[in-house]
Amino acid sequence: MSLSFQLVLTAPASLETPLLALVLPADATLTDALAPLDAPLHGALARTLARRDFRGGRDETVLLVGGDAGVQRLLLVGRGSTPLTRTTARRAAAIAARQAAKLGMGTMHLWLPDADAAAIEGLVVGAAAGSWSYPDLQTPPPEKDRRARLTQVGVIGADLPGLQGALNAGVAIAEGQAIAKRLGQMPGNYCTPQTFVDLGQEIAQRHGMTLTVLGRAEMAAAQMGSFLCVAQGTSQEPRLVALEHRGGPADQQPIVLIGKGLCFDTGGISIKPAPEMEWMKFDMMGAAGVMGAMEAIGRLQLPVNVVGIIGSTTNMPSGEAVKPGDVVRASNGKTIEIINTDAEGRLVLADLLVYAKQFNPAVAIDAATLTGAIVIGLGHHAVGVFGPDRAVVDEVLAAGSAAGEPGWPLPMWEEYREQIKSDVADIKNTGGRAAGSITAALFLQEFVDGYPWVHLDVAGTAYSQSDLGWIPKGPTGTPVGTFVEFVRARAGR
């Protein structure tokens, strides 16, 4: 992330800044705290509020142009009438930073009057999200048309304990999300399974984590026939990457985070239709979420043990590819009849869930862009949350809502299991169109042995095909926040 943040204790009216973004609630009036900003503006702020040109609605903005010194531009940003939370602060800051980036501000200041620690953290995460971009593959415009990139954000705070810590936590989460989003936005010919290995190496080195990498040969030795059948059609080396953060006591059972990392999903022999297939470069957002969360957890130095495991490959058709009707054997010995080679994510996750067992998880949470059906069921606003244990599901739901990545639970009743019974193998990899997300979760459960487990279907939420206003279309950062908040809550931080 090329953006740096400072906690600023200067009175806003005394700032020297090209842009001050002032976040206000609905129907704000000119308070004594705001009044000093208005003198150099010759009353423009008071008039704007009094005329109700700016009403403070969510995402509303008005730009007031100041002089050549002091606060040169004042951007009013509405946060609506809902209570102030980390999530509402995040959204307002994202709107502000997006606007600042469009204006070509290299520096900006953010002021949310009376921000507490949670709000400060949200402002940082939001400013990073709103100004995030992936310019690597585009030729920059000629010098005269170029706008400066936003590189510095000053967050107005108060001399209160905990605000600097909150700012640092925001930066940690923002860095994690930036890593995940970058991986997501990278095309399939740039983000390959090896990219996860290289990144894993960097994260391990930066935070003193242990890294384990398996390739085709090691996975074959571990009898991961389920994962490997997905990789049959690609010449790229499939990769299983495990990162161990040992922040807790040596004998503490770890939280295990697991991610689906399909660098591209063509569907394989059961090939997907061409329209919109390019979006399947995002089929690695579960794995990207794990990597991003591990970066954030490393930066936060959370005093718990956490293991991140990702499985990465590309689902391609070829003369060698797995085909419908084939039967493969997973590393727990279970046989799987392949009905549809496009239901490949669950095949990768199956062997990862078996692999996780050796870490003796306190709990395992997997995240995957697993089913189109979850998009039909929940759309783009809720993560599908599945698990046999309601208490752990609730814990994950709480983490998701704290992170601004809300989830919604779906059932895993026995009745649905009928749909994935096979005539020739122990289980089949699809259960028909009905309840497609639930049968996918039930498939995964066959590979979970003796540890608490929650599955997150992020197919509708990990990336957006439309501009969301506060962030552009593309990767959203989900599920980094959910993972981090879950681990933080377990760590008591």
**Residue numbers annotated as active site:** 272, 346
Give me the residue label for tokens 């690609």.
Answer: 234
Residue closer to Mn ion, measured from CB, 99 or 266: 266
Smallest gap from residue 168 Cβ to Zn ion (A) = 36
Residue 268 is a binding residue for Zn ion (CB under 5 A): no
Residue 351, contacted partner among Mn ion, ligand BES, Zn ion, none, CB below 5-8 A by kind: none
Of 116, 237, 244, 342, the one binding Mn ion (CB under 5 A) is: 342
Q: What SS3 state is found at 219?
A: helix
Strand partners, 451: none
Residue 295 is a binding residue for Mn ion (CB under 5 A): no
- Where on the phi/psi map is residue 268: left (φ > 0), alpha (ψ -120 to 50), or beta? left
Residue closer to Zn ion, measured from CB, 88 or 371: 371
**What string of DSSP letters covers 232-278?**
GG-SSPPEEEEEEEE-S-TTSPPEEEEEEEEEEE--TTSPPPSTTGG
Of 265, 295, 366, 446, the one binding Mn ion (CB under 5 A) is: 265
Residue 283 is a binding residue for Zn ion (CB under 5 A): yes
**Residue nearest Zn ion by beta-carbon distance:** 265
Smallest gap from residue 296 Cβ to ligand BES (A) = 24
Residue closer to ligand BES, measured from CB, 45 or 343: 343
Residues that bind ligand BES (CB under 6 A): 265, 283, 340, 342-345, 369-373, 375, 430, 436, 459
**What string of DSSP letters covers 404-449?**
T--EEE----GGGGGGG--SSSSEES---STTHHHHHHHHHHTT--
Helical residues (DSSP H) of 31-148, grouped into ranges: 35-38, 44-50, 86-103, 117-130
Phi, psi of 207 (to 5 degrees): -120, 10
Residue 459, contacted partner among Mn ion, Zn ion, ligand BES, none, CB below 5-8 A by kind: ligand BES
Q: Of the ranges 114-122, 251-259, 264-272, 474-482, which one interacts with Zn ion (CB under 5 A)?
A: 264-272
**Residue nearest Mn ion by beta-carbon distance:** 342
d(CA 233, CA 217) in angstroms, rounded, equals: 16
d(CA 79, CA 67) in angstroms, rounded, equals: 26
- Reference 356, options 379, 334, 387, 331; nearest CA is 331
Smallest gap from residue 465 Cβ to ligand BES (A) = 9
Residue 366 is a binding residue for Zn ion (CB under 5 A): no
Helical residues (DSSP H) of 284-435, grouped into ranges: 285-300, 345-356, 373-378, 390-402
Q: What share of the chain is helix, strand, coil (3-state, %, to 5)?
A: 40, 20, 40
d(CA 456, CA 434) in angstroms, rounded, equals: 19
Of 121, 244, 265, 485, the one binding Zn ion (CB under 5 A) is: 265
Residue 372, contacted partner among ligand BES, Zn ion, Mn ion, none, CB below 5-8 A by kind: ligand BES
Q: Of the ranges 238-246, 262-270, 386-394, 430-438, which one interacts with Mn ion (CB under 5 A)?
A: 262-270
Smallest gap from residue 339 Cβ to ligand BES (A) = 8
Query: Which two tokens mark 433?
Result: 């169109």
Residue 430, contacted partner among Mn ion, ligand BES, Zn ion, none, CB below 5-8 A by kind: ligand BES
Strand partners, 107: 152
Smallest gap from residue 263 Cβ to Mn ion (A) = 12
Across 278-287, b (16+ Cβ under 10 Å) vs e yields eebbbbbbbb
Residue 457 is a binding residue for Mn ion (CB under 5 A): no
Smallest gap from residue 178 Cβ to Zn ion (A) = 24
Q: Which residues bind Mn ion (CB under 5 A)?
A: 265, 342, 344
Q: Which residues bind Zn ion (CB under 5 A)?
A: 262, 265, 283, 345
